[in-house]
């Protein structure tokens, strides 16, 4: 039995198709996006799209898989760089429309769950450095943090209007990161106020 090495052009075409699909799914949604439109944007034949992916559903799964790889790379780079050395807003920017659509259409479950899983691992490591056990599980905290982080994909226009600057610019990305750093490092409640509220809902 012989095997053939994939043609480099095929690999390039596959990436172009996937990127075109990310764009179309983001702009039109999964139901309204068409294989024909994706093929035209990618500059390939309809048959080549079907050759590489078979169906629109398989194409969306390939988009999700690619996005998962991007997230894992972002996670690995963030762990190896000093604070401020990596801008997740800039890295995820090209996928913002796709993420927003996927989240609102309910098709981003695996991506969200993986974000939570990574967050749990980070929080469990951070909890070991705290003087006492946290009052909320890492799973619950990671879930809320993931939801807050992904909300920027859905609410981009509102965030940009509030900040008065585009998140596509370096200035906008820095403004958002500065605001996030302040929010995470300056609690709105004192420990006493938080404890009183916690007792009231327990």
| pLDDT tens column, 49-99 | 999 999 999 999 999 999 998 888 877 776 665 544 445 566 677 788 898
Whole-model pTM: value is: 0.77
Alpha carbon dihedral 91, 93, 96, 97, in 10-degree steps, equals -140
Rg of the chain, C-alpha, whole Å? 21
Q: Which residue in the block uniquely carries the two structure tokens 């990305």?
A: 173
86 class by beta-carbon count within 10 Å (0-12 exposed, 13-18 middle, 19+ buried): middle
How many other C-beta atoms can be found within 10 angstroms of the C-beta atom of residue 188?
A: 7
Q: Where are the alpha helices (DSSP H) in 33-87?
A: 35-42, 46-53, 56-80
3-state secondary structure of 32: helix
Cα–Cα distances in angstroms (integers) from residue 71 to residues 22, 37, 97, 105, 132, in the given order: 15, 27, 16, 20, 31
Q: What's the chain's length in residues?
A: 202
d(CA 18, CA 73): 18
Distance CA(77)–CA(124), nearest Å, equals 19
pLDDT at residue 17 above 50?
A: yes
Say how far apart CA 74 and CA 126 lie, in whole Å.
19
- List, for residues 31-57, the tens digit of each pLDDT value: 999 999 999 999 999 999 999 999 999
Residue 136: pLDDT band by 50, 70, 90 thresholds? very high
């Amino acid at each position: 039995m012989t095997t053939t090495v994939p043609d480099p052009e095929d690999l390039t075409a596959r990436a172009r198709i996937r990127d075109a699909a990310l764009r179309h799914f983001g702009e039109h949604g999964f139901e309204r996006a068409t294989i024909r439109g994706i093929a035209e944007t990618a500059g390939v034949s309809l048959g080549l799209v079907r050759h590489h992916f078979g169906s629109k559903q398989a194409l969306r799964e390939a988009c999700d898989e690619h996005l998962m790889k991007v997230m894992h790379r972002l996670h690995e780079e963030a762990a190896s760089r000093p604070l401020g050395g990596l801008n997740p807003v800039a890295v995820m920017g090209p996928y913002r429309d796709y993420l927003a659509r996927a989240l609102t259409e309910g098709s981003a479950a695996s991506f969200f769950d993986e974000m939570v899983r990574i967050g749990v691992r980070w929080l469990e490591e951070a909890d070991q450095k705290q003087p006492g056990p946290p009052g909320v599980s890492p799973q619950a905290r990671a879930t809320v943090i993931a939801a807050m982080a992904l909300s920027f994909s859905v609410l981009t226009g509102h965030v940009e209007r509030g900040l008065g600057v585009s998140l596509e610019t370096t200035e906008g990305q820095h403004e958002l990161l500065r605001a996030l750093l302040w929010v995470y490092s300056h609690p709105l409640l004192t420990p006493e106020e938080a404890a009183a509220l916690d007792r009231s809902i327990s």
